[in-house]
Chain A
Amino acid sequence: MFDKSDLEGPRIDRRTATKLLAAGGLSGLAGCSGGGDSGGSGTESTSDSESSSGSSGGSISAGWNIDEIEYLDPHYIDKGQEIYLSSNIYSGLVKIGSDGAIVGDLATDWTLPDSSTYVFDLTEGATFHNGDPLDAEAVKASFERLMSLDDSPHLGKVSSIESITAEDPTTLRISLETTVGPFISFLTRGPGRAGTIVHAEEAEANPDEYNRMPVGSGAFELVDREPGEYLQLEAHDGYFGTDEEGNSLPYLDSVRIDLIPEPSTMWTAMRGGEIQYSNSIPPQNAGQAESMSSLDVVGTNPGAWFCVAPLCNDPADVEWQQYASGAGDATSKWEGEDLPTTDVRVRQAIAMAIDREALIERAFFGYAEPAHSVFNPAIAWLYDEEPDPGQYYDPETATQLLDEAGYTGEPRMSLSLLGTPSDERRMTVVQEMLSQVGIEVELNVQQESAYWDNLYRYENELVMYDGYVDIDPWMSLWKQLKTPVESGSAGAWQANLYRNPEFNSLLEEDYQTSDVETRTDLLRQAEELFLQDAAWAMTTFPLIPKASASNLTGVGNQAGLSNFHTAQLE
C-alpha cells in the first residue's frame, strides 16, 4: 500500500515512482535508464537542472525509427515512438523527471486531503500553442473528453474518477471513487497518456484534424508535417517550463523529426551528421558510434524482455489451447511424433545451453542485460541482477540433462525455431549455441502476420518471443503463462502451452492482493516454479541505443523518452 505522504508533491521519489508505475501497469519504466548502463558509453541522462552553458537557439534534425505516425491524439496513442513525440508536444499535470522521479509539470505542487482525493496547484499564465489559456478548467475539459471516448484504450485509467472540480484557475481537485494507488502515475505527460492534456474544444470540434495537427501546450508546437516523411516542431514561445535558473525553455528554436524506419539509413544519416539525434540506432553501429568523438550514445531500457519459448504441451493433448488468443486450428502434426520440449529436462537444458553474455556481444553488440529470470529491470521491486535460483549458462549440465532425457544421438534432436526478420541475427546465434550441445535447429523466419499465425498453430518446438513495456508481472505471468480459460484475460496470450496448476493458483492469489509485501512473496514462489519448469528460456533484456551529436546535450532519456526541453547546441 502506498502512504498518502509518499504520494504528495512536489516530488515523488524514484523508488516510489517505480512502484507506482509498476502497480499501474504503465509503460512508465521509471528508473530504467538507470538499469541501462552496460554497453552504453556511460553518459547518463542529463538532468533538467543543468544550467545553460551553451547558447540558446538553434535547430536540429532528429531521426525517429518509425515509418508513419498514425496517432498524435494522446487519448489514442499507444506506440512508444508516438509517446516520445507527444512528450514534447503536450504537457501533463505531472511528468517523469530526469532522474526517474515523478515531479510536477503543469502542477507546481499537489496534496492528498484524503487517500482518494488529489488537489493540484497549477502554474499561472500557462497557455496552449494557440494562445488559449491552460488553466484548471482546460485540464478538467481534457479529462472529460477522454472519459467521453468509447474507443480509447486509456479509458480504464480514468474510470475511477468520481468528480473533477476547477476550484479556481490554478487549483484543480480530482476525487476518485476509491483509492487507486498508482493514479498519480496515470497523470504523467507521455507514458501516463491519460494525464496528457489535450485542448478539448479543438479535439472535439474536429478529431481527425486534431489527430493530424494537434494543439498542445508542451515545449514544442507542431507546425508542419508530411506523412511518412517528417514533422516540424517549433519552440512554443509561451511555454511555462523553465530551467532551474528561471530561463524559459526550450532552448532550441526548432526540431525537425525525420521518419527513418530503415536502421541502415538511420545510421548513415547519423554518421554523416545529417541528423543530430536518433532515438534508436542499430546496436551493431552503436559500438562505432561510441568510438567516434563526434557522437554520444546512451543505452535505454524500454522495459523489454526476450526469450526462447519452448512448446510445453502438444496442442492436441490439451483442450484449453483453443482459448488462447486468436484461437485458430492448432496443428495435429505432433500426433504420434516425439515432442522433446514437453520434457522439462530438455527445456532446462535449452535454458542452460545459452551463453547470455556471448549472445549479448554477438547479437546485441553489448546493448542488453542478461536475463536469468522472468522479471525485467522495469519491474524494479522484483528484478534481481543475479537471481538465485536462475537460468545460467552451463553446457555441461545441459548435456547431462539431455543424456538423462534419453536424447543421445547425433544430433540429439532437430527442432524448428520460429521468428520474425528482426530476430534473424539472434536466431542465428542461438542456433549455433544449441548446436554446441547437440541440438540441431532449423530457422523458420516469417513475416509478422505469418509469425502470429504460425505461433498460435503451435507448429514449432521453439519460438523467439518477446514483450515490451512489461511493467507488472500481471502482464507477463498472468497473461502469458497462466492457463487460459474460456473467458477472461488469464493466459490470453499463451504462446507455448505452459501449464502448472500450482503456478496458476499463486497468480490468482496475487491478483487479489494489493499489498506489496504479500505480492512479492507470492510472486517469488511463482518465479521458483517458472524456473523449475523452465517455462521459457530467458535470454536478454535489450537496451535501445540512442545517439546524439556530441555538441547536442541535455536530451532527456528517462524512461526511454526523448525529451528536447533542455536540449541545447554548443
Chain B
Amino acid sequence: MGLQRYVAKRTLQAVLVIYVVATAVFVAIRSIPGDPARLILGGDADADAIAAVRAELGLDEPIYVQYARWMSDLARGDFGSSIYTGEPVLARIAGAAEPTLSIGLVGISIAILIAIPAGIVSATRRDRWEDYVATGVAFLGISMPSFWIGIVLLLTVGTAIPAIPSYGYASISEGVIPWLSHVLLPAAAVGLPYAGIITRMTRSSMLEVLGEDYMQTARAKGLPPRLILFKHGLQNALMPVVTVAGILFALLLGGIVAVEMVFGIQGFGRLLIRSIERQDFPIVQGSVIVISIIFVFMNLFVDLLYMSINPKIKYGGGA
C-alpha cells in the first residue's frame, strides 16, 4: 500500500488507541474509593456541604452522563478545569510539563553527547581498554536507578558546587544560566541510564556495520577510513539508535518522577501523582490523553523515519 494509505491507517489506529486508553482511565479513576468533594472541603466537612460540592462539580450524575459530557467537551477541544484550582487543564499541564520536558530534553542530549562517541570508540577499539571502560560504565549506567544517581549527585556535586541549587526549578524565561543550573543535575541523573543503553546500541550496530561487505568494498576502493566511518558507517549505525531514542524519550516519565521528587521539582510526574491522590479527575484524564498522544504519535513518527532512512523496508509489513 502507498505511503499515504499507510499513514492514514496508522493514524486512525493511533486515535483509536488513545480513545480506548482515555476511556479506561476515565472509568478507572472513578473507581478509586474516596470523594474529591470531601478532599476539597477538608476532612471536617459535613454531609450537606459535601453534597453541594459534588453537585457543583457534576459528580453526582450517573457515570455515562459524565462521560458523555466529557466526550462532547473534548470534541470541542475543552479539556475541562482542575477540580481544585479551577485552572484550565491544558494550562496546568503545560505549566507542569515545562520542568519535566526540560529535564528530559537536556537529559537525552547529555546521553547522546556522551553515548554516541563512546559507542563509536568502543566499536572501533573493540576489546581494548577503551572498549572495556566504555562498556563497563554503560552497564553501570543502566543498572542504577536514576533517583539514586540523583541522590548521589546531590550529595557530591550539589554540596561541592554552591552555585548549583539543591532544589527547585527556574523557567528558561528567567535566564539560561539559572535554568541550566537547576536542570543540570536532574538531567544527568535521568540521562545516565540512557547513555548506557545508547552506548551499547551504538557499539553493536557500529560493529555490525563495520563488518559489512560494502564497508570492505569502500576500503578496497581506497577511500579514506574517516570518510568510510562517518559517511557509510554512521548513517546505518544510527538507525536503530534513532528508533530507540524516540521511544525512550516518550518513556522517560517513569524515571523522571522519582528524580523530580529528589530535587523538589514540581513537574508533570508530581502533578499526575498528586492529581490521582486528590482525585482531580479532569487533570488526570487530560494528562493521560496528552501522554498517550505523545507516545503513540512519537512511535508512528519514529517508524516513518526509520522507513524513510532504510528504503528496504516496505510499508504494511511486519513491525
Judged by a CB distance under 8 angstroms, whether B124 is at the interface is no
Query: How many pairs of residues, A versus B, come closer than 8 Å at their CB atoms?
Result: 84
User: Given B33, B36, B154, B264, which contacts A262 in the complex, CB threshold below 8 Å?
Assistant: B264
A452 contacts B35, CB within 8 Å? yes
Q: Within the complex, what minimum Cβ distance (angstroms) separates B310 from chain A?
A: 44
| Interface hits, A480-504 → B, CB 8 Å | 489, 492-493
> Which 10 pairs across A and B sit closest by C-beta, in order of nearness?
A449-B34, A265-B264, A453-B33, A265-B167, A492-B46, A453-B34, A450-B33, A447-B277, A228-B266, A450-B34
Q: Within the complex, what minimum Cβ distance (angstroms) separates A340 from chain B?
A: 25
The 8 A CB mask of A202-215 against B (1 = contact, 0 = none) is: 00000000000000
Most buried by B among A227, A262, A454: A262
B277 contacts A448, CB within 8 Å? yes
- Chain B residues near A272 (CB-CB < 8 A): 159, 166
User: Given B32, B42, B261, B264, which contacts A449 in the complex, CB threshold below 8 Å?
Assistant: B32
B46 contacts A325, CB within 8 Å? yes
B167 contacts A454, CB within 8 Å? no
The 7 sampled A-B contact pairs (Cβ below 8 Å) are A228-B266, A229-B169, A269-B167, A272-B159, A449-B38, A450-B33, A452-B38
Residues of B within 8 A of A (CB): 32-36, 38-39, 42-47, 50, 84-85, 95-96, 154, 159, 165-169, 171, 261, 263-264, 266, 274, 277-279
Q: Which of the four size classes fits the interface of chain A?
A: 20 to 34
- Chain B residues near A529 (CB-CB < 8 A): none
Nearest neighbor of B33 in chain A, beta-carbon distance: A453
Contact flag A449-B167 (CB < 8 Å), given A67-B266, A260-B264, A454-B33: no
User: Given A259, A265, A325, A451, which contacts B47 in the complex, CB threshold below 8 Å?
Assistant: A325
Q: Within the complex, what minimum Cβ distance (angstroms) separates A211 from chain B?
A: 10
Q: Within the complex, what minimum Cβ distance (angstroms) separates A14 from chain B?
A: 28
A260 contacts B167, CB within 8 Å? yes
Judged by a CB distance under 8 angstroms, whether A510 is at the interface is no
A265 to B261, CA, bound (A): 8
A272 to B32, CA, bound (A): 40
A452 contacts B34, CB within 8 Å? yes
Nearest neighbor of A265 in chain B, beta-carbon distance: B264
Q: Within the complex, what minimum Cβ distance (angstroms) separates A554 from chain B?
A: 26
Q: Within the complex, what minimum Cβ distance (angstroms) separates B56 from chain A?
A: 11
Nearest neighbor of A230 in chain B, beta-carbon distance: B168
A227 contacts B95, CB within 8 Å? yes
Contact flag A229-B34 (CB < 8 Å), given A262-B261, A269-B166, A274-B165: no
Chain B binding surface, main DSSP class = loop
- Chain A residues near B32 (CB-CB < 8 A): 449-450
Q: Within the complex, what minimum Cβ distance (angstroms) separates A435 from chain B?
A: 29
A164 to B42, CA, bound (A): 33
A452 to B263, CA, bound (A): 30
Contact flag A67-B274 (CB < 8 Å), given A260-B167, A452-B38: yes
- Chain B residues near A452 (CB-CB < 8 A): 34-35, 38-39, 43
A449 contacts B33, CB within 8 Å? yes
- Chain A residues near B47 (CB-CB < 8 A): 325-327, 492
Nearest neighbor of A68 in chain B, beta-carbon distance: B85
A492 to B84, CA, bound (A): 24
A489 contacts B46, CB within 8 Å? yes
| Interface hits, A376-409 → B, CB 8 Å | none
Nearest neighbor of A453 in chain B, beta-carbon distance: B33
Nearest neighbor of A452 in chain B, beta-carbon distance: B38
A326 contacts B38, CB within 8 Å? yes
Q: Within the complex, what minimum Cβ distance (angstroms) separates B223 from chain A?
A: 55
Known interface pairs A260-B168, A447-B277, A452-B35; 14 further A-B residue pairs with C-beta atoms within 8 A, sorted by A's residue number = A67-B274, A78-B42, A228-B96, A265-B167, A274-B165, A274-B167, A326-B45, A449-B279, A450-B32, A453-B34, A454-B33, A479-B44, A492-B46, A493-B43
Judged by a CB distance under 8 angstroms, whether A258 is at the interface is yes
Nearest neighbor of B165 in chain A, beta-carbon distance: A274
Q: Within the complex, what minimum Cβ distance (angstroms) separates B95 from chain A?
A: 7
Nearest neighbor of A258 in chain B, beta-carbon distance: B168
Contact flag A453-B35 (CB < 8 Å), given A258-B168, A260-B264: yes
User: Given A78, A260, A262, A449, which contacts B277 in the complex, CB threshold below 8 Å?
Assistant: A449
A450 to B279, CA, bound (A): 10
B39 contacts A449, CB within 8 Å? yes
